Amino acid sequence: MASSNKRQFLRYAFYKVDPEWRRLPAEEQAAHKAEFADVVDSFADKLYVLRTYTTVGTRGDVDFLIWSVGAELRHLHDLQAALNRTKLAGYCSTPYSYLAMTKRSIYVREHRHEGQEGTRLTVQPQGATYLFVYPFVKTRQWYALPLEERQRAMNQHIEIGHKYPSVRLNTSYSFGLDDQEFVVAFESDSPADFLDLVMELRESEASSYTLRDTPIFTCVAADIRSALDAVGGA
């Protein structure tokens, strides 16, 4: 689907497959995976973004991620409802699911990262190998600070980010929509660069006002069939 200048809805849905599924006959496993993958593929033209990742080997509590971005909440609902009707869904749980929207940042007005177009109202994945996702909540003391002080602290935060051009940030907002305030998703081909970035950000002034920024998910790009094959089965 073509991009839009309107605000978008995002969902990061993490799925876990019950180990019991791996004990099914091989032909059933293959049929379940094919049906589930066909449903995901059928929504590719209905959403702005539909990307899948494997978390096998990086997390023990989830197996794969479906990152979906739509113009309306209904579009995200329709995808999940269709997946719920598959046979594999009978063996799947969703331990984590984060809902958010795009929004213009009050701290970043003119700057755009190289290769990034638009107004930050649209999600434009770069197709990197890795996606690092986590929910984020600031302390109430942060919001009590004057805007000028918050801007100064964020300027330092942004400066640090510019030192790592290989790491691309996607920030989305969840105020009132979900439990967290933000969902942040970093794209990169270098886990080492991301690790160094996060370590340096821990020393920034703005970081001292972080209430919660876990769990953190390291996700590896994979088409849905490859992601399901990594879970196991035929």
Query: What tens digit of pLDDT does each residue of 192-232 get?
Result: 999 999 999 999 999 999 999 999 999 999 999 999 999 99
Closest of 135, 13, 23 to residue 62, by C-alpha: 13
Size of the chain, expressed as the number of residues it contains = 234
User: Where are the extended beta strands (E) located within the chain?
Assistant: 9-17, 49-54, 64-70, 92-101, 130-138, 168-173, 182-188, 210-212, 217-221
Domain boundaries, given as residue ranges, for the chain: 9-101+220-231, 130-217
65: which strand partners? 14, 53
The domains spanning 9-101+220-231 and 130-217 adopt the same CATH topology: yes
Give the span between the Cα atoms of 118 and 122, in whole angstroms.
Answer: 7
Could you read off the pLDDT of 137-182 as tens digits, one per residue? 999 999 999 999 999 999 999 999 999 999 999 999 999 999 999 9
DSSP string, 37-63: HHHHHHTTTTSSEEEEEE-BTTBSS--
| pLDDT at position 4 over 90 | no
pLDDT at site 5? 63
8: which strand partners? none
Give the span between the Cα atoms of 92 and 151, in whole angstroms.
Answer: 43
Closest of 66, 64, 62 to residue 43, by C-alpha: 66
| pLDDT at position 102 over 90 | yes
Could you read off the pLDDT of 43-70 as tens digits, one per residue? 999 999 999 999 999 999 999 999 999 9
**Cis bond before residue 135 (omega within 30° of 0):** no
How big is the chain by its Cα radius of gyration, in Å?
A: 19
Helix axes 191-201, 147-162, angle to 10 degrees: 150
| Domain 9-101+220-231 bears CATH identifier 3.30.70.1030 | yes
Helix axes 26-42, 73-84, angle to 10 degrees: 160
Output the pTM of the full model: 0.92
pLDDT at site 121? 84
Dihedral sign, Cα of residue 189, residue 13, residue 173, residue 72: positive
The first and second tokens of residue 131, run together, are 């996606």
Q: Which CATH class is domain 130-217?
A: alpha beta
